[in-house]
Structures are given as C-alpha cells and as structure tokens.
Structure 1
Amino acid sequence: MNKSLLIKIIFVFVIIPLFVTAQTADKPAAASPESSVAYPQFQFKGLLQARYLESTGTNVDVMGVHHSTGEVTQSSFDIKRMRVGLNTKLSNTTEVVILVNLADFKSDTKGKVLENAYGKYTFNKYIALTGGQFRPAFGIEELVPVDIIKSFDFSNQYYEFGKNGWTSFQIGASASGAFDVGKIPVNYAVSVLNGNGKNQEMDNDNGKQYSTRWVFGLSKEHQINLGLNGGIGKRSDQKVFALGVDITSDFKLTDRFTFDLQVEYKQGTNQNLYFSLPADARTSNVDDYQMRGIYFLPNLRYVVDYKKLTSLELSCRFESFDNNFKVNSNERKTYTPMISLEFGKAYLGRIEMGFEIDRYDKNIPDTAFYNDDLFLIQLQLRL
C-alpha cells in the first residue's frame, strides 16, 4: 500500500469520526402519545453518501472503464447519493411518498433525479395497494434501502434487472400484504409495470410486465426467510420472463456478535441488451439473450457501544453475473470485502472502507468489461 493511500485511510478513521460524533448527538425523548392523532403527518428524510475512489487496475478509471490510450482518472472524490425524501400520512390508511436524488444533477438528469413518487392505501394487513413510481418487490435488495445494506452498493444483478424493468424504480401498480399459513408467516406482492424504467412520459410499447414475490418465514428464532420471485411480460411483442430465489438468515452468536447471510439467484431475459443491438447483429429470438447471477453476502456484526461508536461490521459479498450467457458469455466475478463503523442508531452515521474486485472471463479493451481493483472509502449520514 503506497504512502499517500495510507495517509488517506488514517485521515478517514481519525478525523471523520469526530465529525460524525457531532452529527449524532442524543435526541430528546419523544413526547408521550396523545389520545388522538392529527393528520396529515410529515416525515422528512435525507441521505448523504460521499466517497473516495482509487482504481489500481492498469489503465482502468474509477468508473471501471479501460482506456488503451493510458489517459485515465484513477482517483476521485464523488457524491454517490444526496437524497431528500418526504413521507406524508394523510390518514391511518393513506400515505404519499416522494424521494429525489440531488446527486443526479451532476450529470445528464434525463430519466434521473426523481426516484420514489407513489401513493399507498392500506386496507388491512392482508392487502395494500400502491401506485406510481416505486421499487417493486422482486428479490431481497428491492425491499432494503441502500443506506442499510451490508455492502457499498446493490449487486450487479440488481442494476441489470432494473434495466430490464423488474427491479429498481419502475412505474406501475402493486398489491401486497401478509397472512399466516398454519405457523408459517407469508408476505406477498403482485405488481404490474410499464417495464421501461423510471421517469418516463409513458410506456414505450403496449407490453406490460407482471411480477410477484412470496416470502415464507421458516424460522422466527434465526429469522430464516425463503423468497420466491417470478415475472412474465411482453416487450415489443416479444415474450420476456424473470425468476429468482433467495434466502436470508440472522443468527445471534453471543450478546454482542451476530451473523447474517443473504443468498440470491436470478435469471431472466435481457431484452434491454437485445433491443440495443442492430437487427442484423442479433438472432431473431429474444429468448436467446438471457442473464443470470448469484451472490452470497455474509456479514459479521459486533456491538461496541463505546461512546458514539455503535458497532463494527465485516462483510464480503461474492457475486457471479453474466448478462448474456447463452450467446456471448463473459462471466463477471465480483468480490467486495468491506469493514464498516456505525455511529448512532440505525446507521445514522457510517464509515465504510474496502474494495470492489472485478474479474472477467474475457477482457475487452476500451470497455467496462475489464478486470479492475477499486479501493473505496464511503461516508454515510442519514436523517
């Protein structure tokens, strides 16, 4: 490790915690509940994720793109997210949610900035209806905010399935709820989506994508949950599909140590890739273009509770993903070891340090399909 990098690491772990401590002062106790609740109720939320990036790959920039000319930016500070959100409860059954990412203004804002924009009406625990732009339930990551995940960012498969209309922020409607089958708690969601991404004026064809997620609680003690996901739809009169299975668990090893694990597998049509190719450069069948991926994310948490330092976490996600395994396979293996310091409760303040290590079966010069080693330090503050 070179001297300049060592100095940066020392700075982050010595100076920044003082700043975080100042931001996470104890809040006054909440007032006693009143006999009646006044509506509407407003809850403001915010998230800052600021990062330092340093690529150690040969002629690979901080965005993971190879440059054969050798003219490459290999270190940079970055604002990953600067989110501002408002949750408004109009009644005990109706809420409206708005979320924007102001960091998107640093580049072309087309199709960006606005993330959540939906309304939700809850009839009872068995059914609630959601409409607008939201993250449809289709896997583990879709139900977890990015500021409390156990890694720097979501997985490669999450973003690729988002490009294909199954995950991330989509426009449509959803029904969700929970019930018990004997002693097994079950959560479900059924969604119908335009499938062409966020912030679009309208659907870009007459096809819709239908997806569902079912989660079965197998063990309450160890919080073992099994998730099953499936989806079908049409894109420009071509049939598309997606499926997935995932499992989560959380084991309390001692009073201070806990170990949790996420495993997720997905496979589906990569219609986004298919329609991006010239007609004479692809086959006639969209089903020839499929993506699949699996990741394992173990996380060990140690509760510190020393002054403002709440916990220390160690994680290392391993992911294998191929965006076109049937026609032109080029498997990408990604290793993401990370250490995290938590300040305050519920990740109010967080400092993360680690690497994203990419290895491809085939390196393609002057593209992002190229081996890379990226060092990251990320500061997170949330309201």
Structure 2
Amino acid sequence: MKAQGDVNQGEEAPDTTAKYPQYQLKGLLQARYLESFGENVDVLGMHHSAGDVTQSSFDIKRMRVGLNTKLSEATEVVILVNLADFKSDTKGKVLENAYGKYTFNKYIALTGGQFRPAFGIEELVPVDIIKSFDFSNQYYEFGKNGWTSFQIGASATGSFDVGKIPISYAISVLNGNGKNVEMDKDNGKQYSTRWVFGLSKEHKINLGLNGGFGKVFKEDVFAIGADITSDFKLTDKFTFDLQIEYKQGTNHNLYFSLPADQRVGEVSNYQMRGIYFLPNLRYVVNYKKLTALELSCRYETFNPSYKVNSNVRQTYTPMISLEFGKNYTGRIEMGFEIDRFDRNIPDTSTYNDELFLIQLQLRL
C-alpha cells in the first residue's frame, strides 16, 4: 500500500508550490477588406434589386478580449467578449464565453454557464486557428437551432482508453436559446453528446459522432452528425490535413419563424442537412519572420430545409494564408467566398455572390 505523498516512477508529483489564482489574458483582432463581385450584392451578401449597394468596405470582424482564471488546480473561470459587436445592435451579442469548469480527473470535468458545447469539429476549434476565413454555414445554422455556437447550460466532458483506442466524450444539456438570454424561451431542454475515437495516432485520424434530442415549444427536435479529421506529414516541411463533417437535424428555428398559416405540416417536415470538405496544405518556411504558407479550399453544400421549399447553397472558399510567429500569432489571409444557390431570391441574402477578402489576424 502506497503511503500518502509517495509517487510512482514516471508519475508526476502534484505541484504544491503553485500559487492561485492564476490569470491568463487573451486577445484576437480580425480586420478585413471586403469586395463583392456579385451583381447588386453588398459586402454582407444582401441583394438589392434597386442597385446602389456598398460593394467594397473595410471591416473589423472580431476584437476579442478574454480572461482565463485558475482558482485552483481543478477550478477555472473563463470570460470572453467580442468588442467588435458594438458596431451594431448589441442585443444578444458581445458576451461570448462565461463559464466555470471543475476538473475531477481526466475522466470527468463539469462545465456550467455560457460556452460552446461539443457537437462537431468546429465547436472544439477557436475561430482564429481554423483553416478558413470563418466557420461553415452549417455551424451557424445549427447554432440558431441551439446545438452549436455559444449556448447556456451544463456539460460533462472527459477521456479514457479502450484498449489502444483513446476516446473522448461530451454530454451537454442546454437551454437552446443561444447566447445572452435572460431565461429559457420554454421549459424544453436540448440534450446532446459527442464521442471522438482516435483511429490513428501517427496520422491523427479521429472519428467523431454526434447526436442530440430535445423539445422546443413542446415539439420534438433532433440533430445528428459525423466527422473525420486527419493530418499527414508528407515531408519534413509539407503537411496535409483534411476535415469532413456531416450534420442533419430539425430546423425548428425556421419553422417557428414562419407565420402559422405558411407552415407546411409539422415541425418534422423542416429538416436541414449539410456536408463540407476542408483540405489544407501547409508548407513550413521559417524564413525571417514568415513561419509557414497554407493553401486551403473548403467546399460546402447546405440545405436549410430539404423537405419543404428546398434550396441548396453551395459555397467554395479558396484561401491562401501567410503565418508569422508561432500558433498563428500573426496571419494574413486572402481568398474568396463564392455562393451558388439553386434559386436566387431577390432582396435577400439568398443570392449568388462572389466575395473577395483580405484578412489580417493578430492574437495573443
């Protein structure tokens, strides 16, 4: 029997000299130049049949400031705000992360507050290190339906091994209202889970499975998804990584936004689904201040309601990125977001567009 204070060989002793609380300040700036080449389409993607639209503009996409506070070895509090939201109506904006987390061990940690619940690849990756300009269309649409993006609720996360396969999990219960709401819009809650299986350590191949169900205004809703990621080292300087993600679920946000007399059948008739492929080629330069060069092109097809009034949106996002410093401390990105719809709807954002972007990113 091991006496208190003994440590097995190879096992790290707990750090009894650490002083708490500990603070870590984080920040992110994303400033952009935008130019729309779509006919009578402005830089925000809105079509104007009368013409006279703003087709070139500078913009601040994000100006985030965050504070991570470790109250003890096991307890942390995270706050994140986006000051760029002050440029428009701030209702429901600005405050992004506001949660506390207590880690019992590697097998279980509990999180409560406002956070991004795990329900896909993008929910686990900060926007400043993704391989494209922004998250996918499906990410934002599933966010409107309470499964992704910033939500209020609680979550249990952890990891363990089954034989040689590492497995991580997340189980969440959410209001499903989105961020910064005073209370739940109804008494229904949304329950979701994510499981990730490490299939190859050498090539970092991971398989993710997602599922969720709940009630919104007493109607049953669901969401499912599957994704796979991989990272191949081609040479000492070349690496190739790939993300593929599929999601499908009830678009109850669309259903309840329609007047009752315009709805077709039950909420179950309104289902969204989408898939995207995001290949990325990285070349390590390490010449003076330039760290690496990256080339990516995400292709996504998304349908917000494939059973009723189907209108598929295809989006191509080719991008070249120059990285300065480590971990994307500095980044200059250039490329296009090209949208193609089955049907254009005049005077809406559901309209074909070609948007050119140059984005400067600085993070600390």
After TM superposition, the score normalised by the length of structure 2 is: 0.96
Match of 2:142, SS? helix
Counterpart check, 1:283 vs 2:283? no
| Matched AA of 2:242 | L
Q: What does residue 291 of structure 2 align with? A: 310
**Structure with higher helix content:** 1
Correspondent of 2:214 among 185, 209, 233 = 233
What value does the CA root-mean-square deviation take over the aligned residues? 0.7
Deviations 1:252-309 (A, max 9, x none): 0000000000000000000000000000000341000010000000000000001110
Aligned to 1:346: 327
Corresponding residue SS for 1:221: coil
What residue number does 1:13 align with? none
Q: Do residues 219 (structure 1) and 200 (structure 2) align?
A: yes
Post-superposition Cα deviations, 1:44-84, rounded to whole Å, max 9, x if no partner, equal 00000000000001000001111000121000000000000
Alpha-carbon distance between aligned partners in 2 of 1:35 and 1:301, rounded to the nearest angstrom? 41
Q: How many residues align?
A: 350
C-alpha distance in structure 2 between counterparts of 1:83 and 1:326, whole Å: 39
Matched, 1:55 2:36: yes
**2:141 counterpart residue number:** 160
Q: Which amino acid aligns with 1:317?
A: R
Alignment equivalent of 1:337, drawn from 304, 318, 323: 318
Identify unmatched segments of 5+ residues in structure 1: 1-33
Q: Which runs of 4+ in 1 moved over 4 A?
A: none
Match of 1:64 among 13, 25, 45: 45
Equivalent of 1:359 in 318, 340, 348 = 340
* Equivalent of 1:195 in 176, 199, 207: 176
TM-score by length of 1: 0.91
- Corresponding residue of 2:228: 247
Counterpart for residue 377 of structure 1: 358
Separation (CA, whole Å) in 1 of partners of 2:134 and 2:71: 32
Q: Secondary structure at the match of 1:105?
A: helix
Structure 2, unmatched stretches of 5+, are: 1-14
Q: Report the alpha carbon displacement of residue 35 of structure 1 after superposing the two structures with TM.
A: 6.7
1:131-169 CA-to-partner distances (Å, cap 9, x unmatched) read: 000000000000000000000000000000000000000
Give the secondary-structure state (helix, strand or coil) at the position aligned to 1:67.
coil
State the identity %. 84
Q: Which residue in the other structure is 1:121 paired with? A: 102
Q: 1:267 aligns with which of 238, 243, 248?
A: 248
For residue 307 of structure 2, what is the aligned residue in structure 1? 326
Q: Secondary structure at the match of 1:255?
A: coil
Which amino acid letter does the alignment assign opposite residue 44 of structure 1?
A: L
Aligned to 1:82: 63
Per-residue deviation, residues 221-248 of structure 1 (Å, max 9, x unmatched): 0000000000000000000000000000
CA contact (8 A) 2:75 2:102 kept: yes
**How many angstroms apart in 2 are the aligned matches of 1:90 and 1:58?**
54
Name the SS for the 2:91 alignment partner: coil
- The one-letter amino acid paired with 2:266 is N
> Which letter does structure 1 place at the counterpart of 2:207?
L
Q: CA deviation at 1:196?
A: 0.7
Cα distance in 1 between the residues matched to 2:182 and 2:165: 42
Partners of 1:205 and 1:289 in 2: CA distance: 20
- Name the CA distance, whole Å, in 1 between partners of 2:52 and 2:258: 29
SS of alignment partner, residue 103 of structure 1? helix
